[in-house]
Amino acid sequence: MRRLATRFVAGDKLEDAIRVIKTLNQKGICASLDLLGENTTTPDEARKTAHEIINILETINHTGVRANVSVKLTQIGLALAPTLCVENLSLILEKARQLGNFVRVDMEDSNVTQATIDIVCQMREKGYQNVGIVIQSYLYRSDKDISRLVDGGISVRLCKGAYKEPSSVAYPKKHDVDVAYDRLTAALLDGALGHNAPSVSSDGRIPPLPALATHDVRRINYAKNYAGKINLPKTSLEFQMLYGIRRDLQDQLAAEGFPVRVYVPYGTQWYPYNMRRLAERPANVWFIVSNFFRN
Ligand code: FDA
């Protein structure tokens, strides 16, 4: 698992992640920095995490890297008390606003989908324009959620979804998840046109409205073709991928002139994150086994 961690995680420390981001930036690729951790169990830990995320924003600022941050709401107290989570997220968004940066709220399992959307919308109503959200195409509810978020001009990262969900809430078949992904991509790209299609900011921190987070070439090609069909400029959408996965594709899209952002996790709490990467691709189990026997 340690070896797998080094494939998908930048390192234990913030400086490890900054080093990785500098290399990505040199290739014209931006980043979203993620302090690993979820389901924090005490209010003190949730507050401490919020302060660490504020420190990340300050570090991005003084190192000048082209990056924003991603946050999980259960990391800053959602499972303990929504008010604590809102308090912590407000502190993070206030700092991000002062520094001209952006915060993406990751989406976790379906028990917290509604609360996550409600809190992000509440933050927007409070005047924080620098917050975006993630929607998962495997959930049946996502068409309605995307329509609400597009109406509100809220930046959405679309992914397939990484948690084990029951068939009462999520499509059990991969084909249906993929079909939904393309349908939701079209809704997001149309929505961007309807909001004057803002481009990624020149410092690489504020993303365009739609962010398509996938390594699936078919989904990426669908998005490229659809954007061409509706004349959405390349810089008005962003492709996102995970650190350590399909670097060739990241480079290729950047060379084609699309904004590309890589999600760069760091920290010591890598176990649940890596378990999700393992579940996505059985071949990763072979990666561990072969490394185990090589040592
Ligand atoms: P799919 O699983 O069909 O994979 C397509 C191809 O990508 C594979 O054939 C393989 O080549 C490559 N690939 C995919 N996963 C791999 C892996 N683990 N190891 C090696 N190769 C792999 N989920 C969530 O629930 N909430 C969230 O907030 C986020 N956030 C997020 C941000 C970003 C930037 C990305 C890219 C993804 C997420 N995800 C996520 C994870 C997402 O939901 C999904 O689980 C993974 O991206 C894998 O799905 P793909 O879209 O890549 O397709």
If you average pLDDT over every residue of the chain, what do you get? 94
120-137 confidence digits (pLDDT tens): 999 999 999 999 999 999
The pLDDT, as a whole number, for residue 294 is 47
**Predicted confidence band of residue 4 (pLDDT cuts 50, 70, 90):** low
Contact 122, 154 (CB under 8 A): no
Ligand 1 centre distance from Cα of residue 214 (Å): 5
245-275 confidence digits (pLDDT tens): 999 999 999 999 999 999 999 998 888 888 8
Ligand 1 centre distance from Cα of residue 295 (Å): 29
The pLDDT, as a whole number, for residue 3 is 66
Report the pLDDT averaged over residues 158-170: 97
Report the pLDDT averaged over residues 278-291: 67
Ligand 1 centre distance from Cα of residue 54 (Å): 27
Report the pLDDT averaged over residues 20-37: 97
Residue of 139, 242, 277 to mutate, ligand 1, most atoms within 8 A of C-beta: 242
Please determine, for residue 10, whether its predicted confidence score (pLDDT) is greater than 90. yes
The pLDDT, as a whole number, for residue 7 is 84
92-112 confidence digits (pLDDT tens): 999 999 999 999 999 999 999
Distance of CA 171 to the CA centre of its chain: 21
E strand intervals along the chain: 30-35, 67-71, 103-105, 131-136, 156-159, 210-213, 238-242, 260-266
Residues within a 6 A CB radius of ligand 1: 106-107, 134, 136, 159-163, 213-216, 240-242, 245-246, 263, 277, 280-281, 284
What span, in angstroms and rounded, lies between the C-alpha atoms of 161 and 184?
A: 13
Please determine, for residue 285, whether its predicted confidence score (pLDDT) is greater than 80. no
The pLDDT, as a whole number, for residue 288 is 56
What residue's CA is closest to ligand 1, atom 21?
Answer: 245
Please determine, for residue 295, whether its predicted confidence score (pLDDT) is greater than 50. no
Number of domains present in the structure of the chain = 1
Atom of ligand 1 nearest to the CA of 104: 28
Report the pLDDT averaged over residues 203-226: 98
CA angle 56, 87, 110 (to 5 degrees): 85
Q: State the residue range of the domain holding 27.
A: 2-292
pTM, rounded to two decimals: 0.95
Q: Which amino acid, 99?
A: L
Count other C-beta atoms under 10 Å from residue 120's C-beta.
26
Contacts for 129 with CB less than 8 Å, ≥ 6 apart: none
Positions marked catalytic: 106, 157
242-251 confidence digits (pLDDT tens): 999 999 999 9
Q: What is the CATH number of the domain that holds 176?
A: 3.20.20.220
